[in-house]
Chain A
Amino acid sequence: MEHLGYLFSAYSIIFGAIFLYVVFIWRRQAALDAELRALEAQMAALKEASTAANVPEHSET
C-alpha cells in the first residue's frame, strides 16, 4: 500500500479544512446573535422610552 500516506493526508486536509470553515461560520453566528440581542435590547429600550414619555413614535419611512 504505497502512497497511503499521501492519500490519507489529502483526505484529512480536505475534511479538516471544511470542518474548520464550518467552525468559523459557527463562531461568526454566535457573534451575530450577540449583536442581534443587543439590537433587540436597544429597540425595547426605545419602545419603553416612547411609551413612558408618551412621545408619538416616529413613523417608519
Chain B
Amino acid sequence: MLRKDLRLELRSGESTLALLALSMLVLVVLVFALDAARVRSVDAAAGALWVAMVFAGMLGANRALLAERDNGAIRGLLLSPLDPATLYAAKLAAAFIFMAVAEVGAVILMVLFFNLDFDGSTVRLAPILILGAIGFSALATLLSAITGRTRGGDMLLPILAVPIFVPALIAGVKASAAALAGAPFATMGDWLKIMIAFDVLFVTAGYLLFEYVIGQD
C-alpha cells in the first residue's frame, strides 16, 4: 500500500526537473546577491545551499499537493482503508526523496559556484542534509495538508513552515558551514543534536496529528 502512494507522488516526475532547475536558479541569484565570485566563504556557501533547499522543499510540497488535488486523488485515498499514519509515512517518504534529489543537485552546484572543492568536506555534508531533509519533509507534509485546503494556500505554506523550521535551519547552516570548513563531527555535536531532536519531534507529531488534518468536511 505504501508503494501505491509512493508511485502516486513520484508520478509527477516532470516537476522534479523543474525543481532542480529552480534550486539552481536560486543559487545563481544568491551568487550575485552575496558576490560569491570574489570571496571564498563557506558560510555564504552553506547559507546559499540551505536557501535553495528550503525553497525546493517548499515548492515540492506545494506541487505534490496540487497534483493530488487535480487528480482528485485525495478523495480516493480517503476512501481507501489506508490509515492516516501510513499515508503520512508515504507522503513523507516521497517529499524526502524529492528534497534529497534537489539537495544533491544543489550541493554540486554550490561547490561549483562558490569556489569550493569536491572532497571529504562535501561528503560530510550528507548526514547533515539528510537530517535537514527529514525534518523539513515531515513538517511540510503535515502543513501542506493544511494549506492545500485553504484559500491562498500556496503562499501560506512558507509563512507557516519557515518560522517553525528556523531551529533546524540555524543548526543546519551552522553545521554545514563547519563541515565545509573541515571541522570534525564532534565539534558540531550540539547542532546535530538540535536537528535530531527536531526530526524526532516532527516526525512523531506528524504521525499523531495527520489524521486530524486530512479528514473531510
Task: Tell me if chains A and B make direct contact, with any CB pair below 8 A.
Answer: no
